[in-house]
Amino acid sequence: MLSIILMGPPGAGKGTNAKRIASEYKIPHISTGDMFREAIKNKTPLGELASSYINQGLLVPDEVTIGLVKERLSKADCDKGFLLDGFPRNIAQAEALSKIGEEIKKPINYVINLVVDETILIDRISGRRVCKTCGAPYHIKTMKPSKEGICDLCGGELYQRKDDNEETLKSRLHEYHLQTEPLIEYYKSLNVLRDVNGSQDLDVLFNEIKEILKGE
Ligand code: AP5
Ligand code: MG
């Protein structure tokens, strides 16, 4: 069982690295942000509720998010492991996750924290483009697709996320410091947290992560 939480502030590279890890270890990549964006795209009631929070850079209420993750982790494709990206995002979600883990017998065994300087985060978010179809992230300067505006992986159209603007980013960073950062101490005290430098070259970073997961 390889169950990983990938943590970090907005723009730290959770989505980018999660895709590599999930594909290398053949485990599902579970991103609550992607799940909400999918619901928004499909205009479901969940999407309608989530969009009002996401567009303001605020967290979607815990009862909604926790229920969504519990349902997802209960599926059979998570039996051999999973990678959580963007969940948990506060202490209440972390405590709920630990309870869910006990209930469905899928405990977390690694928490990887991507550490990135705030000035870099702002640059990354403002230049990010995302595939409309598969969610793969690109960057207009540092991670260009081979063909402008088109996803290398699936040929989908690239777009800029609605919450990737200066004002919403301020509020996302504020929420991160207020609600999510305390999880670093929480997981440190449980002896499962591993910090990695999220501003280095992606291949170097991936080797570091593989070193942490060695033996899995
Ligand atoms: P979510 O979708 O999780 O957004 P986020 O946490 O703000 O993080 P991002 O997706 O913006 O960044 P990332 O770390 O994935 O970086 P990426 O790999 O794309 O959440 C969105 C919203 O949904 C929240 O604000 C909230 O409202 C709601 N939500 C989600 N989960 C929730 C929860 N649990 N509870 C309540 N609400 C929730 O990389 C960024 C850019 O940098 C890319 O362009 C990439 O190409 C580039 N890049 C990455 N790494 C490198 C590198 N090493 N070198 C060069 N470029 C790099
Ligand atoms: Mg992401």
| Residue of minimum CA distance from atom 55 in ligand 1 | 142
Counting Cα atoms < 13 Å in the Cβ hemisphere of 36 gives 25
Residues 8-24: pLDDT tens digits? Answer: 999 999 999 999 999 99
Decide: residue 90, CB within 10 A, 0-12 exposed, 13-18 middle, 19+ buried.
Answer: buried
CB 5 within 8 A of CB 112: yes
Confidence at 216, pLDDT banded by 50, 70, 90: confident
Active-site residue flag, 89: yes
pLDDT at 158: 98
Residues 140-195: pLDDT tens digits? Answer: 999 999 999 999 999 999 999 999 999 999 999 999 999 999 999 999 999 999 99
Mean of the per-residue pLDDT values of the chain: 96
Active-site residue flag, 128: yes
| Residue of minimum CA distance from atom 27 in ligand 1 | 54
**Closest C-alpha among 10, 19, 24, 21 to residue 136:** 19
